[in-house]
Amino acid sequence: MTNELIQKHGGYRTLKSFQTTTLIYDLTVEFCDRHMTYKTNKSPRTNDQMIQAARSGRQNIAEGCQASGTSKKTELKLVGVARASLEELLLDYEDYLRQHKLALWSKDSPRVAEIRRLAYKTDRTNRTYARFLAEQESAANCLICLIHQANFLLDQQLKALEKSFLEEGGFTERLYQQRKNNRSY
């Protein structure tokens, strides 16, 4: 257990989960601008909800990491909210494919394998996925694949956070220990 009352926190920009959710957010905005026009989208509110779910996935990782110095419980909660937001977005993309009578690619599809391989690139940007975004089916499936990748990363992050919390405790435990140590002098 560390002796610091407020532990190091932040650093979320280096997390693969944050980097992937940043791509998801940016590409969802692009998807909605390109494929969810008012002519094809009966409910413009869906646009906003998809963008907000993508944004929530990203922002809650950042907020949780910033809160982690004083509250591991809050970090766990916010990373869980990020995970839930991405699950909501995943369903929106699956709904989009179904309602537009487009194929949902299987996880064994060569196209999905190609998208999955891109995750290993260290310099991924929106342009990395540009070739998948022109057509509705390809764009939605690309984002579904990215969401699955982000969800996997967040699940691993949550497991690590839970383990750390159980082994090291949180701010309240550190505060108690320091107060107890100060009184014994």
| Positions of the chain with pLDDT under 70 | 1-10, 38-43, 70, 168-182, 184-185
- Phi-psi group of 183: left, alpha or beta (phi > 0 → left; psi -120 to 50 → alpha; rest → beta): alpha
Total tally of structural domains belonging to the chain: 1
Is residue 17 within 8 A of residue 153, CB to CB? The reply is yes
Whether 112 maps to a domain, the answer reads: yes
**Quick one: three-class SS letters along 92-115?**
HHHHHHHHCCCCCCCCCCHHHHHH
Measured CA to CA, the distance from residue 147 to residue 29 in angstroms comes to: 14
Whether 4 maps to a domain, the answer reads: no
For residue 184, the model assigns a pLDDT of: 64
Measured CA to CA, the distance from residue 57 to residue 147 in angstroms comes to: 10
Measured CA to CA, the distance from residue 4 to residue 22 in angstroms comes to: 31
Alpha carbon distances (Å) from 77 to 66, 135, 152, 157, 169 = 13, 36, 17, 12, 15
Domain that holds residue 50: 13-183
Whether 7 maps to a domain, the answer reads: no
Measured CA to CA, the distance from residue 104 to residue 40 in angstroms comes to: 19
For residue 177, the model assigns a pLDDT of: 57
The per-residue pLDDT for range 24-63, each reduced to its tens digit, is: 999 999 999 999 875 555 567 788 999 999 999 999 999 9
pTM for this predicted structure = 0.82
Whether 33 maps to a domain, the answer reads: yes
Spatial CA neighbour of 30 closest among 96, 161, 98, 129: 129
Whether 21 maps to a domain, the answer reads: yes
Measured CA to CA, the distance from residue 114 to residue 108 in angstroms comes to: 10
Burial class (CB in 10 A: 0-12, 13-18, 19+), 182: exposed
Whether 62 maps to a domain, the answer reads: yes
Whether 5 maps to a domain, the answer reads: no
Whether 6 maps to a domain, the answer reads: no
Q: How big is the CA angle at 21 (ends 78 and 111), to the nearest 5 degrees?
A: 140
